[in-house]
Structure 1
Amino acid sequence: MRLVVVNDVSVVLGGATKVAMQCIEAGIAAGIDCSVLVGDDGEGVRTSFPAAKVTSLGERPLRDGVRLLDVIDRNYNCRAYEALDNMLAEGDEETVVHVHGWSQILSPSIFHALARHRARVIVTAHDFFLNCPNGGYLNFRTGEVCHYQPLSAACLCSNCDKRNYVHKLWRLGRMLTQRSAGQAFWNRVEVILAHENMEPYLSSAGLKHFRTLRTPCKPLAAEPVKAWLNDRALFLGRMTWEKGVRTLAEALIRTGRTATLIGQGPLLDEMQHALPHCYVPGWLEDSEVQRIAAEARFFLMPSLMPEPYGLVAAEAMMSGIPVIVSSNALIAEEVARNGAGLVFESGNAASLADKMAMMDSVATVRRLSEGAYEYGKRIAPSGDEWRRRLIEIYQRPMSWGVKGEEVGSLPEGFQVIH
């Protein structure tokens, strides 16, 4: 068999690209002939995986600045279509194509190329771009989770985009381009979910085949943390509105509490000016993040959007650091059920402040810290288990619709959804 991994970029700046690189690594280690299509210059893959055959477009992602031509190219990138079509023309019957990110460079044109071939198509849903025009099921104007049917009249009329309504209309056009690959194509696409609770958000897109394979992660700190002996509140993530950093800032200002906020993003300068009493350094090296995590009393994940997984929150729990998560996070229910942290009302700074105040109790933090550490042992597969399951998916596809297949043999963190 041949594996083709498809992703917008080759440099790891987020979770989707990190997982894409892990898929390449797992495929090569299993002796699979591995090819890669990326929209940037491809140097990140060429450097890390010399054995992989890389096709690169040499283009820039939308987040690096929008050009006039992007209005067309990022809706339907002809170069991406031709590149993938040519790769599959070499032989597609024994090929598995694993798609990760496409919204920044490659565009929905890749699905039109895939629809022309018999290659097996797997898409890992790192977000909701398979169904939602803005990718987040979030109204960026109100901060509320959107419950409209994607592409419905209500969706069309909703000014939910983070930029403006014209951009929303462009995103709707891109979604129509994506859907126009044809229902016969989407009926055969297999979707890997980062979290099982993503499935209800995606099932209305005409997708039929779902399985959950949670992303492996490692503890945030080098050693288990006795959080009740520490006093640092910690946030680690992108400094964007949808990640809830303004809600966090309001709660910190309201209470006068200090915290460490690590991460890059468009709101970094705003956070640095709004929180002079906090440590807001931008991005830090992994070794420094580890050191700071070892001093954490609790971890904050204040996302406004339905956060698909919350990888960093899982890494915190694996370290024994209790978490305070937004009610919109898809892991919120399991955090509360396993005594691994607290849940606050999404977007409500007063609610967040109340939960932070509860962390003043040594007994509460110790109980949650111990609960987080125990649950962290089960929240996600180990790297070895994840690689084994991934290669099984590539080499021996499950029989969709066979109730309960292999479920009994799967550790927590894996689930077959029918």
Structure 2
Amino acid sequence: MHLLVINDVSTVHGGATKVAMRCLEAATAAGMGCSILVGDDGAGMRERFPHAHVEALGERPLRDGPAIGDLITRNFNRRAFSALDRLLAQRCDDTVVHVHGWSQILSPSIFHALARHEAHVVVTTHDFFLTCPNGGYVNYRKGDICRARPLSLACLATDCDKRSYLHKLWRFARTITQAGAGDAFWERVGVILVHESMEPYLKEGPFRNFLTLRTPAEPLSRNGRVEAWRNDTILFLGRMTWEKGVRTLAESLNITGSPATLIGRGPLLAEIRQALPHCRVAGWLEDSEVASIAEKTRYLVMPSRMPEPYGLVAAEALMCGIPVIISSNALIAGEIERHNAGLVFESGNSRSLAEKMELMRSSELLRRLSDGAYAYARTMAPSWEEWSRRMIDIYTGKMPFTLH
């Protein structure tokens, strides 16, 4: 059996690429041959997997700044289509194709190539681009979750895009291109959910085969449990974008006067630095620096405005006993609250977040939440070893999808 992993990029800038690499590691350890299709130069994958065949397009993601040509190539990337079609023609019968990211470079063209072949296809839902044109089920104009059915007339009429309505129309057209691979194709695709609460959002589409496999987390701290109640640092770790809620967090930090450390890159980095002169807005940091800061962290804030599919950074904090304040829009908010692992605030409401931050001044509450976080983190997702075994079972058909 052979594994072909498809992902926009070859270097880790988010969870999708990290999980794609873990899939390759699991397959290699299980004795499977591996190939990789990426949209960038492939350097990260070649370095990590020198024995795998890497097909790289050498293009750049949309997040690095769109070009005029992207209007066409990011709707249907013909080079990606041809590369994948060629790879599958060479070996298809014994191949499992695992798709991770495609919205930045590879485009929906990969699904049209896959539809031409009989290879077993699975897709991991790191976001909602399988169904939602803007990938997040969020209305960027209103600052709330979008309830319109994807690709309906209501969806077409909704100005929900973060840039403009024209850009929304382009995204809408791209999702139609994606759907154009055909219901017969989509009905045979296995959809791996990183959280079971994603399924209601995806059942609107033609998908029939679902399976939940939560992504394991690694503790932010490298030195075991953090005694969070003895610390002072408030931590944010994520992209500096509207949908990640950094503006809400900035307003709350100014309301409370609380200092905090914010780590991450993104288009709002300069704005947040200017808005929070009393905080450390560090930008990107090495993992070792993040681990050092985690050991001094009192709690982590995950203020997402979108229905965050899983929230890996929250799990990473919980694993070392750091409680979280989490947005009500996050899909794990309910379980965080039920297991006394943190507090939930009303998404987008800076005063609601500020109130929770004031509560977190209590060391007694912090210790109770830290205990809850540390205990719950051990059960919220499988270990990497168990996850790897389950992934191989998915590839070999021993772990069946649920048919809807």
RMSD after superposition? 1.0
| 1:266 match | 267
| 1:176 match | 176
| 1:148 match | 148
Q: Distance in 1 between matches of 2:164 and 2:266?
A: 19
| 1:127 match | 127
Q: Distance in 1 between matches of 2:257 and 2:400?
A: 55
**Which letter does structure 1 place at the counterpart of 2:168?**
K
Indicate conservation of the 8 Å contact 2:394/2:400, yes or no.
no
Deviation (angstroms), 1:342: 0.3
| 1:137 match | 137
- TM-score by structure 2 length? 0.98
Deviation (angstroms), 1:142: 1.1
Indicate conservation of the 8 Å contact 2:3/2:98, yes or no.
yes
| 1:303 match | 304
| 1:351 match | 352
**Which letter does structure 1 place at the counterpart of 2:395?**
Y
State the Cα deviation string for residues 286-334 of structure 1 (Å, max 9, x = none).
Answer: 1111111111111100000000000010000001001000000000000
**Which letter does structure 2 place at the counterpart of 1:393?**
I
Instruction: Give ranges in structure 2 of 5+ residues lacking alignment.
Output: none
Matches within 5 A, 1:6-25: 6-25=6-25
State the Cα deviation string for residues 331-352 of structure 1 (Å, max 9, x = none).
Answer: 0000000000000000000000
Question: Structure 1 residues 397 and 190 mapped into 2: Cα distance closer, same or farther (>3 Å)?
Answer: farther
| 2:52 match | 52
Matches within 5 A, 1:79-158: 79-158=79-158
| 1:324 match | 325
Q: Distance in 2 between matches of 1:204 and 1:266?
A: 32
**Which letter does structure 1 place at the counterpart of 2:17?**
T
**Which letter does structure 2 place at the counterpart of 1:25?**
E
- TM-score by structure 1 length? 0.95
Q: Distance in 2 between matches of 1:45 and 1:361?
A: 46
Deviation (angstroms), 1:91: 2.4
**Which letter does structure 1 place at the counterpart of 2:85?**
D
Q: Distance in 2 between matches of 1:293 and 1:76?
A: 42
Q: Distance in 1 between matches of 2:402 and 2:57?
A: 38
Deviation (angstroms), 1:399: 4.0
Deviation (angstroms), 1:68: 1.1
Question: Structure 1 residues 399 and 312 mapped into 2: Cα distance closer, same or farther (>3 Å)?
Answer: closer
Q: Distance in 1 between matches of 2:307 and 2:349?
A: 15
Indicate conservation of the 8 Å contact 1:243/1:305, yes or no.
yes
| 2:235 match | 234
Q: Distance in 1 between matches of 2:302 and 2:362?
A: 20
Q: Distance in 2 between matches of 1:297 and 1:398?
A: 40
Q: Distance in 1 between matches of 2:156 and 2:56?
A: 34
Instruction: Give ranges in structure 1 of 5+ residues lacking alignment.
Output: 403-417
| 1:211 match | 211
Deviation (angstroms), 1:400: 4.1
Q: Distance in 2 between matches of 1:239 and 1:193?
A: 25
| Identical amino acids, percent of aligned pairs | 65
Between 351-360 and 281-290, the greater mean CA deviation after superposition: 281-290
Indicate conservation of the 8 Å contact 1:28/1:51, yes or no.
no
State the Cα deviation string for residues 103-133 of structure 1 (Å, max 9, x = none).
Answer: 0111001000000100000000000000000
Indicate conservation of the 8 Å contact 1:145/1:306, yes or no.
yes
| 1:414 match | none
Query: Quick check: 1:190 aligned with 2:190?
Result: yes
Q: Distance in 1 between matches of 2:206 and 2:356?
A: 40
- Give aligned pairs, total: 403
Question: Structure 1 residues 399 and 289 mapped into 2: Cα distance closer, same or farther (>3 Å)?
Answer: closer
| 1:377 match | 378
Q: Distance in 2 between matches of 1:182 and 1:401?
A: 21
| 1:287 match | 288
Q: Distance in 2 between matches of 1:45 and 1:291?
A: 28
Q: Distance in 1 between matches of 2:319 and 2:176?
A: 41
Indicate conservation of the 8 Å contact 2:3/2:33, yes or no.
yes
| 2:68 match | 68
State the Cα deviation string for residues 208-265 of structure 1 (Å, max 9, x = none).
Answer: 1111111111111122011111111111111101100000000011111111111111
| 1:248 match | 249
Indicate conservation of the 8 Å contact 1:93/1:118, yes or no.
yes
State the Cα deviation string for residues 55-105 of structure 1 (Å, max 9, x = none).
Answer: 111111111111111100000011111100000101212110000000011
